[in-house]
Structure 1
Amino acid sequence: MPAWEVLNREQHADLRASRRIDGARHFAQIVADEFPLAAPHYPILFTKNAETGAFYAGVVMGVEPGRNLLTVDGALPDYRPADLERQGFFVAEGQVVIDPDHVAFADPAGQPLFGPDGEAEPALKRVQQALRTLEQGIPATDAIIRRWLTHRLLEPIDVTLHSDDGQHVRLDGLYTVSLDALHALPDDVAVTLFRSGDLQLAYAQAGSIRHLRTLGRIRNERLLDGGL
């Protein structure tokens, strides 16, 4: 267990947090409010919690564990999901706590959390917003997924990437919204989903899977260049 510390301006006045730590993250959980922000850049897919079996949503940034294909010098150039933004930070008993040994705090060139006056700097404000996004968004997203499951809108997706060198990479345990099932919904159900915002989110997710081709292209290019 990490030795968590309650974040405070006295003890952590000089603490810095780096955003260039995403290179080893190939998957990150996101919540429904992030779908419109993430969909232009990443494939959004669903998987199951290994312990509970419950579905949750996430963005795929690589096709192999421990390797993010989209980072530049360790940082994502586009939208950074809240789950990545808050790395090293947690909420415990209503307080923001940190794991002081987390890699996020190991870079002396990271961004300061507190200014000279002790006020929160932009880096900390982003973390605070990320923590709020997850705290409020996870229950709301769970409810949306349950509604989709009620209407049998999730289905397994076969993700197999083929490389020019003959290698094949298969991603298992992933799910997507079924457009066939969506289009077969009764009109009254479709209207209800539209008014709740669920329908728009479903289309955003389904449309985002086109980015899997981008991941496959990047991986293939790096294999040919000897970068993997």
Structure 2
Amino acid sequence: MALELLERTRHSGLRIDIGNAGDRHFVQLVVDEFLPASLDYPILFTKHPQSGAFYPGAVMGLEAGRNLLTQGGRLSGYRPADLVRQGVFLTADGIAVDPEDPVWSPAGDPLFDPQGEATAALKRVQAAMHMLKTGLPETEAFIARLLANQLLEPIDIALDFDDGGRLRLNGLYSISLDRLHALSDAAALAFFRQGDLQLIYAQTNSVRHLRRLAAIRNARLLEGQ
């Protein structure tokens, strides 16, 4: 991946297709996205392969490189900020783009208008990057509170399909409601005061969407896809 600093003149013809979700099967979220994302996707936690730190994400597929919720590469549900800013990165020198990312398309929206000013498409990307920049520390603090109270636990997901196959998802974690309900009154009140309870229930309720993902995969298997 070769990044280029975004410049009005150099990238005046760059057009972004923000409907393109590519093949992402797990998309990182920040806590401000839990409520809208939970309406469309299972939200689960996993660990960074390098640091081992937990982070949450929207599950969009059951296998790496396969997004089950796109039609023609396009996503119909809530679009996480990490997808909105796909192909665009914040570096020490400013905003940079990866010109090889599939998000760039001749059919997309331009980043700059004829006067060289930012278009609505670029402003959406900038807003998404701001959400991630401010939301990542809040998300890390939320996870730290979960870990301090031992509320994260591995989730065992084994799915059977009509073709006789079985798929097991490893390395995923969810919030334990049993442990939450066993907290002391003081600890539970602290979660309530910090606004964490609505995030916790949004995450745990969203797990039901795994059944929808399994049904989509099963239907495609039967269709020979």
SS of 1:47's partner is: strand
Q: Tell me, what secondary structure is at the counterpart of 1:104? A: coil
Could you tell me how far apart the structure 2 residues matched to 1:100 and 1:40 are? Answer: 32
Aligned to 1:189: 187
Matched, 1:83 2:82: yes
- Per-residue deviation, residues 163-187 of structure 1 (Å, max 9, x unmatched): 1111111110000000101111111
- 1:133 aligns to 2:128 (yes or no): no
Q: Report if aligned partners of 2:38, 2:203 keep a CA contact under 8 Å in 1.
A: yes
Count of aligned pairs between the two proteins: 225
Per-residue CA deviation, residues 163-221 of structure 1 (Å, 9 max, x unaligned), is 11111111100000001011111111111111101111011100000000000000011
* Structure 2 counterparts to residues 64-213 of structure 1, below 5 A: 64-93=63-92, 95-105=94-104, 107-213=105-211
Bigger mean CA offset, 38-47 vs 129-138:
129-138
Shift of 1:30: 0.5
Q: Over aligned residues, Cα RMSD in angstroms?
A: 1.1
1:57 corresponds in structure 2 to 56
TM-score with structure 2 length normalisation? Answer: 0.97
TM-superposed CA distance for 1:22, in Å, is 1.8
CA distance in 1, matches of 2:114, 2:4: 21
Q: Is the 8 A contact 2:20 2:75 kept in 1?
A: no
State the distance in 2 between where 1:222 and 1:162 align: 14
Ranges in structure 2 where 5+ consecutive residues have no aligned partner: none
TM norm structure 1: 0.95
Distance in 1 separating the partners of 2:63 and 2:139: 26
Question: What CA deviation, in whole Å up to 9, does each residue of 1:125-176 have, x standing for no partner?
Answer: 1110111111111111011101010001111001111111111111100000
Post-superposition shift, 1:3? 2.7
Moved over 4 A (4+): none
SS at match of 1:103: coil
- Determine the C-alpha separation between the residues in 2 that align with 1:108 and 1:149: 46
